[in-house]
Amino acid sequence: MRKILQKIKLPILALVVALFVSGLLIAFSDPKVLALKGDPLSMIAKALSIAGSAYWALFRGSIYDPQLADTGFFGGLYPLSETIVVSTPLILTGLAVALAFKAGLFNIGAQGQFIVGAIGASYVGFTFELPIVLHALAAIVAAIVCAGLYGGFVGLLKARTGAHEVIVTIMLNYVASYFLLWLLSTKAFLREGRMDPIAPEVLESSRLPRLAGQDYRLHAGIFIALLAAAAVWWLLNRSTLGFKFRAVGANAKASRTAGISVAKSTTFVMVISGALAGLGGAVHILGADHALTNEVGGSFGFDAITVALLGRATPLGTVLAALLFGALRAGGLTMQATTETPLDIVLIIQALVVLFIAAPAVIKAIFRLKNVEEGQAIGSKGWNG
Interface ranges with other proteins (CB under 8 A): 25, 29-31, 106, 108, 157, 160-164, 166-168, 170-172, 174-175, 178-179, 181-182, 185, 302, 305-306, 309, 340-342, 344-348, 350-352, 354-355, 358-359, 361, 377-385
d(CA 97, CA 89): 13
Question: Which of helix, strand or coil describes residue 219?
Answer: strand
With H, G, I as helix, E, B as strand and everything else as coil, classify residue 248: helix
- Rounded least distance, CB 180 to other proteins, Å: 9
> CB of 5: closest distance to other proteins in angstroms?
25
Sign, CA torsion 290/229/99/236: negative
Contacts of 45 (CB under 8 A, 6+ apart): none
CB of 340 to other proteins, least distance (A): 7
List, in order, residues 6 or more apart from 27 with CB less than 8 Å away. Answer: 33, 46, 47, 48, 50, 51
CB nearer other proteins, residue 44 or residue 181: 181
Q: How far is the CB of 139 from other proteins (least distance, A)?
A: 24
| Closer of 77 and 115 to other proteins (Cβ) | 115
57 contacts: CB under 8 Å, gap ≥ 6: 331, 334, 335, 338, 339, 341
Least distance (Å) between residue 108 CB and other proteins? 7
**Nearest by Cα to 117 from 276, 1, 311:** 276
Instruction: Pick between residue 81 and residue 111 the one whose CB is nearest to other proteins.
Output: 111
Residues 6+ apart with CB under 8 A from 47: 24, 27, 28, 30, 33
Instruction: Give min distance, CB of 143 to other proteins, in A.
Output: 21
Comparison of 104 and 287: residue with beta carbon closer to other proteins: 104
Rounded to 5°, the CA angle 285-291-295 comes to: 85
Helix (H) or strand (E) holding 142, with range, is helix 132-161
Which is closer to other proteins, CB of 118 or CB of 286?
A: 118
Nearer to other proteins, 177 or 205 (CB): 177
For the CB of residue 22, give the shortest distance to other proteins in the complex, in Å: 9
In the bound state with other proteins, the residue whose beta carbon lies nearer, of 73 and 383, is 383
Nearest 5°: phi and psi at 170? -55, -45
